[in-house]
């Protein structure tokens, strides 16, 4: 992808509550990919989870943040699935890739 574009870095620590989590995570992944301005998403989890979603512009991120289903997921996330998280909104200025 050619900069400039935006990244949302979501870093989280989970609680021990598993119920409903993976279903909601799958649903949010599907929904996010349908939003206007969505580019791509990458996710990994070890002690912390890091999910980075990439977006065309700030307006797309703002709309996704306010999406009704996503607001429900955010609320349940705070109540049940996450003990802490940080969301960072970032302007991607440069990108370098290597491939064998």
Residues making contact with a copy of itself (CB under 8 A)? 3, 7, 9, 11, 15, 42-50, 52, 78, 82-100
Task: Give the Cα separation of 21 and 74 in Å (integer).
Answer: 11
> Which CB sits closer to a copy of itself, 46 or 66?
46
Q: With CA atoms as reference, report the closest residue to 81 among 53, 61, 51.
A: 51
| Shortest Cβ 47–a copy of itself spacing (Å) | 8
> Which CB sits closer to a copy of itself, 33 or 86?
86
Residue 6 region, left (φ>0) first, then alpha (ψ -120 to 50), else beta? Answer: beta
Degrees (nearest 5) of the Cα angle 59, 65, 71?
155
| Shortest Cβ 69–a copy of itself spacing (Å) | 19
| Shortest Cβ 17–a copy of itself spacing (Å) | 12
């Amino acid at each position: 992808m050619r900069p400039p574009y935006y990244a949302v870095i979501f870093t989280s620590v989970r609680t021990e509550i598993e119920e409903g989590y993976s279903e909601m995570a799958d649903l949010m992944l599907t929904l996010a990919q349908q939003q206007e301005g969505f580019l791509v998403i990458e996710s990994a989890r070890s002690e912390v989870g890091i999910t980075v979603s990439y977006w065309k512009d700030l307006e797309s991120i703002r709309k996704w943040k306010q999406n009704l289903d996503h607001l429900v997921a955010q609320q349940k996330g705070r109540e049940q699935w996450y003990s802490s998280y940080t969301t960072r909104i970032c302007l991607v200025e440069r990108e370098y890739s290597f491939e064998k």
